Amino acid sequence: MAFAPRGPEASFFQVLDHHRASLLAALRKGGGEPTGGGTHLASSSEVLASIENVIQDIITSLARNEAPAFTIDNRSSWENIKFEDSVGLHMVSHCTTRKIKSDSPKSVKNFALILKILSMIYKLVQSNTYATKRDIYYTDSQLFGNQTVVDNIINDISCMLKVPRRSLHILSTSKGLIAGNLRYIEEDGTKVNCACATAVAVPSNIQGIRNLITDAKFLLIVEKDATFQRLLDDNFCTKMSPCIMVTGKGVPDLNTRLLVKKLWDTFHIPIFTLVDADPHGIEIMCIYKYGSMAMSFEAHNLTVPAIRWLGLLPSDIKRLNIPKGTLIPLTKQDQMKLDSILKRPYITCQPFWRKEMEIMADSKMKAEIQALTFLSSDYLSRVYLPNKLKFGGWI
């Protein structure tokens, strides 16, 4: 045993254990984890060769008196995105592309910036050193203008070279947190124990963590940091031990998504999401489960379709008699977001999700997780989550 459990009686986890057995059976039936498509972890020599090929193409174009251009898969069109229940959203093999030309006033700066960052990546890989996206931005903040420009270019390069960002030796500072029944060793040899009173920051190099140990019965993904901290204050991880909690503090960063994926691949324990009963919360849950259009080229490394929606369900609002005064009317933007999600390809295989979203659309109201505090200050950790987990209240 990795940890001494201090949580509920073994009988509490019967439904959870049955759920895990069904997940494992589905994996065996499907032949294990899906493979193929997307990016793969590339060796340093492969990354260097890919960059050299891109530069060689530029030299060849110049030798022919042609204006060089980068050809990048178009990740902003649903036409290029395919949905598979076992993978989520991923790019089709023969998708439309866009050209970033060196002779176009609209794209010449972008062309130059891609070339500059390619040069920096080459040096990083060659010297076996790492840099954060922030480091790259600050090498010439005036030239780049803002961090988003750097982030988008790095994603474009990753997509163009068909290698994940960590193979480019570029890391990002993690904003996510993890707590509960988990131990691991970081790449530099640091031993991390997440069972402490305070949460641990999600590592910036998920690929490098090893010797993961847990007895956890489930992993709970919490949308918001405030809710995560409240559950920590209520000793949720102890009361529901053994378990793991993770938060991406809103829309998850790449490292938090990579960590959730690594925990699933390593332990195959049930994973649940706790999000607000609003379109934004549902969107965040969909990113963890099925991925996003922007990162669809790396879906195989990021998505966990086995994730289930634990709460807050729109149907819970009526079932629990949450006071109407705590509900918030849907804004026009909320309604547009909800309509957009309902049209996505993965909703066709999630009839229970659709029903919940239709309840929200019909009521024209949304609710934050904090609305449960009107029932009692610790209702979330004392009643709501334990009952959901014990009796299988997820979809």
Instruction: Report, as residue numbers or ranges, the catalytic residues.
Output: 138
Question: In the block, which residue shows the tokens 């940890």?
Answer: 3
Q: For residue 72, give the H/E element and its range.
A: strand 69-73
Query: Facing residues of 183 across strands?
Result: 193, 213
R_g over Cα of the chain: 23
Query: Facing residues of 72 across strands?
Result: 98
Query: Facing residues of 171 across strands?
Result: 132
Query: Facing residues of 83 across strands?
Result: 89
Q: For residue 385, give the H/E element and its range.
A: helix 385-391
87 Cβ neighbours under 8 A, 6+ residues apart:
34, 37, 299, 300, 303, 305
CB 154 within 8 A of CB 114: no
Query: Facing residues of 193 across strands?
Result: 183
Report the alpha-carbon distance of residue 173 to residue 358 in Å, rounded: 37
∠ Cα 204 209 213 (to 5°) = 130
Alpha helices in 234-350 (DSSP H): 236-239, 254-267, 279-290, 299-302, 314-319, 332-342
Report the alpha-carbon distance of residue 45 to residue 40 in Å, rounded: 14
115 Cβ neighbours under 8 A, 6+ residues apart:
58
CB 89 within 8 A of CB 293: yes
CB 162 within 8 A of CB 300: no
Query: Facing residues of 89 across strands?
Result: 83
